[in-house]
Amino acid sequence: MKSKTVILGFSALLALTACGGGGAPAPTAPTTGNQAPTVAIRSMANQPLTDKNFLQPGASLMILTSDDDVVKTVTYSLAGPVSKAPVQLGSVEGKNTINLPPDLTEGTYTMTVQATDSQGATSTGTASFRIDTTNPQLVSVTVNGQTVGSSNISAAGTAALKVVAHDTSGPVALVLTEGQEVLAQNSNELNFDLARKKDGSLREDGSYSFMLTATDPAGRTTQQAVNVTLVKKDASSGPVEQVPTPTLQVIGEGPFAGNMGVNASANIGPSSQLDKMVLVVTDSTGRMDSQTYVTTQANQTFSVDTTQFTNGPVKLQVFAYTKGGLEGASPVQSIEVKNINAPQISVVAPVDGSTFNAPTLPVRVTITKRTSYFSFVSGQVSVELRDYRGALKATRTLDISNPSTCTGDTKATLTCNTSFDMADGDAGIYSVTASTSVNVDGLGEQRLSATSRFTSTVQNASAPANNIILPIRISNDGSNVAELPSATAKLPVLNRGSGVMVHASDNDGLKYVQVRFLYPDGRPVNSYLLNRKMVDVSETYEVVMPIELDGSEYIPDGQYILQMTTEDTLGNTNIQEMWVRVDRAQRGQLFKTEAVFTDARSFVNGQLTHSSGAWGLGCSDKTVDATTEAGSLTNCASLQADSRVIALTYFRNPEGVTKVVGRTISPVTTAGTSVISRVGFNAEGTYWVSWLVQDLNTGVVESISGPELAVQKNSNQ
């Protein structure tokens, strides 16, 4: 080891210096930083493991470790359907072969290996794989249509073996042997005429034994013996069928990218009928495609998508199958594939177009190498949650080196996981977009992005909004509702002429709005000032004027809590409270009011008699033109103190239905200001203006209503 060499050399120099009795000073030993050990988990073929690898219980794996110092301990553990506690290896540094426990059940497992060197530096490696405990299934094994069992099958002329196999873990490798000789092999399906030898020549009559072996990706096998007795073919049945001799020709010269053309010919004999012709493509990683390029035509030009295969050498071979059960294969032809393309990023959860109903949305993103090598630019993956408008609701930045969020191979397939809280959002359509930047060999920096749209049916758990608009606090006294204010606290004051105004809203819809008094100890006064049920209403302003203090539920003078409660249609509730003082003797500013039409009377058929009017708070007189009926307000008093003024415009239609058609809230109207409210008319009926005024010095609230103005629609009939 490097560090050992430095220490030994230093010791030798010290010894020589001591013998010399002086001379040059002893050299200083160089220092090196201790690096954590490297850890890798590999298959026995020295390949990385992923959750796409299938293994058997008891299978062997390699653990590779190295260090610039000395690896002292190596432990490994398993997590999955059957978890195993950490096991310490006997030998440590270098290559260690371990056998998986024989009692593992089917499922996905994660192995964690931890290595520690002599200086205490530790590193951890993980790998996932799947355990398969089920043997592949031979779905169908027939000779000339007869199911193969333990007894011999007699065949005359042709002994067409047809095999279909299946396994949940992936393709099944089928191999037909006679003794030690391999006669035929294929994936999932196999056809072979047992009446012929491997070279296509006819066998002599007699009994023959063959062995069919099916192997799944985990290495589990199923075998079936096939015993056949061949007898002479009746000459009257026609000529003997011949084995096909298919050929292939690649169009153009390599290296190939994108789509590549391959001409294939079955070359069957005149006594044969073609069942199918298959072009099998196998890349340098062993990935085989025998399902995509299939035809029932004797001559076919296949368009092969080379982007589905790893760059490098790719093998092509054509197989032709006759309806008599004969199989022929072309010579293998190798070509070079060289595609330059970026990896693929996908949002695999939530699934695009899906519906989701849970408070937490799990998100899974994969980045998968296609053909070209790549590396991450920033080492981060950005994930955004947006609503149907495209407005950003939340974002996550995932570190690809953090194993708690991202696992896999950063140069092959990487899986990253995160989540979003949907409980405070509205039901509706959302989108999740994942993006990152990578450097691609031959392309440079590329931006990757993928989006998945889904529908959330999670109901919003947010309470409705509500607020007591009037009265308002005029000091910090009573700001803590949990504490009883002092007798001299400066609180809002309500008397027989006072009113209150509240506002409530909710995105789903309101169920009710309630306003009531509470005694200082929290007990409710039985009667509500307001108890309004809502139907299809999402926002409301509610006014109570004047407040009833002297009814059957008599409210003595004193301190109370004014409480406002709202509930939405989903059952979410919001309560707002404020300390107030009831004092009948304390009065605020008292005003006279007047109202006039501000435009000349109209006599045009179908028009309103007047289109506008004005109401004056504190105006005691008016002047009106006898001809036009238009007037002006006179002798208008001003506010004596800074005040909060709310003007409410009421309208009553000819059927007697009254509603508020306008409101103006002036948070602070300074003393000395005259209050004039101007209103435009747009329907036949009666209009008037009422005011809520709170003196910001004394806190007293008064409600004042102005006179009514009636408007008719002209009719000359």
- Per-residue pLDDT of 656-702, as tens digits, reads 999 999 999 999 989 988 899 999 999 999 999 999 999 999 999 99
Q: What is the pLDDT of residue 240?
A: 63
| H or E element in which residue 466 lies | strand 465-470
pLDDT band of residue 402 (cuts 50, 70, 90) is very high
Residue ranges of the chain assigned to CATH 2.60.40.4070: 465-582
Give the C-alpha separation, 478 to 484, whole Å. Answer: 7
Asked: is 247-337 a CATH 3.40.630.40 domain? The reply is: no
User: Is 21's pLDDT higher than 70?
Assistant: no
CATH of 344-456, one of 2.40.50.90, 1.10.3720.10, 2.60.40.10, 3.30.2020.10: 2.60.40.10
Domain 38-131: assigned CATH number: 2.60.40.1220
Give the C-alpha separation, 302 to 251, whole Å. Answer: 10
Tell me the mean pLDDT in the region 519-526. Answer: 87
Domain 593-711: assigned CATH number: 2.60.40
Residue ranges of the chain assigned to CATH 2.60.40.1930: 247-337
Tell if the pTM clears 0.85, that is, is over it.
no
- What's 633-677 look like in SS3? EEEECCCCCCEEEEEEEEEECCCCCEEEEEEEEEEEECCCCCEEE
Is 438 within 8 Å of 374 (Cβ atoms)? yes
Structure tokens at 701: 């609230």
Residue ranges of the chain assigned to CATH 2.60.40.10: 137-237, 344-456
Q: To the nearest whole number, what is the mean pLDDT of the chain?
A: 86
Q: What is the pLDDT of residue 182?
A: 92
Query: C-alpha distances in angstroms, 76 versus 69, 79, 125?
Result: 21, 10, 9
- Per-residue pLDDT of 479-494, as tens digits, reads 777 788 888 889 999 9
User: Is 14's pLDDT higher than 90?
Assistant: no
- Per-residue pLDDT of 117-139, as tens digits, reads 888 888 888 888 888 888 999 98
CATH class label, 137-237: mainly beta
Q: What is the pLDDT of residue 237?
A: 52
| DSSP-assigned letter for residue 17 | H
Domain 465-582: assigned CATH number: 2.60.40.4070
Q: Is the dihedral of CA 422, 426, 430, 434 positive or negative?
A: negative
- Per-residue pLDDT of 157-167, as tens digits, reads 788 899 999 98
3-state SS class at 377: coil
Chain centroid, CA 251 distance in Å: 44
